[in-house]
Amino acid sequence: MLRWILKITLGLIALLAAVLVMLAASIVEYGNHSEIVPADAAIVLGAAPWGDQPSPVFRERINHAITLYRAGWARKIIFTGGPDDARVAHDYALAQGVPEQAILWTTNSRTTAQDLYYASELAKQHGLGTFLVVSDPLHMKRAMAMAADLGMHAYAAPTPTTRYRSWFTQIPFALSESFNFAGYLVTRSFILAPSSGN
């Protein structure tokens, strides 16, 4: 009896591992494709700043949004995250020459789901309806699923540069995203409320 229980347990573990590996592969593949189209705004998903400066990961997201704005792909840039994330991004963009009137920011979120929720609410107030979602490539699949569930007309705009360049750095991030994405798929009916998320 114990032997059968052990076999079933090992089989389930192997199945779960296989599912996570396949999901991780799909996350990596998804992040390799951009959907750059003219949009009302580029939404920059938040990342922790380093003091008064954006972290390397956050800086790449901000820089990509600025590039999209300057190229005419986005009329506005929406920065998201907590008070520090959004303020640092706002100040950095101003220092790079982005005009104040082109920047919107929301400071209420702590999660990806909240980033998108509050950005969409802010966008409605300004008559903005189409979006380029800017984040790291490995973050895009989950972020775009959330945007779709929120009913947003959003397109993936992964950063062309990322600190996760090698397999040594990509694999842990991809596996982490696999767990997060799987968790989101299970709890998506509840996770998009402003007080929750991942």
Q: How far apart, in whole angstroms, are the C-alpha atoms of residue 198 and residue 187?
A: 10
**What's 40's domain CATH number?**
3.40.50.620
Indicate the length of the chain as a whole number: 198
Please give the pLDDT value at position 39.
Answer: 99
Does 12 reside within a domain?
A: no
Q: Is residue 18 included in any domain, yes or no? A: no
Q: Which amino acid is at 136?
A: D
Nearest 10 degrees: CA dihedral of 195, 65, 157, 73?
120
What string of pLDDT tens digits covers the 198 residues of the chain? 777 777 677 767 776 666 666 777 778 788 888 999 999 999 999 988 998 999 998 999 999 999 999 999 999 999 999 889 999 999 999 999 999 999 999 998 989 999 999 999 999 999 999 999 999 998 999 999 999 999 999 999 999 976 655 555 666 766 677 778 878 877 776 655 554 444
The tally of domains found in the chain comes to: 1
Helix (H, G, I), strand (E, B) or coil at 122: helix
How are beta strands 49-50 and 53-54 bridged, if at all?
antiparallel
Range of the structural domain that residue 40 is part of: 30-191
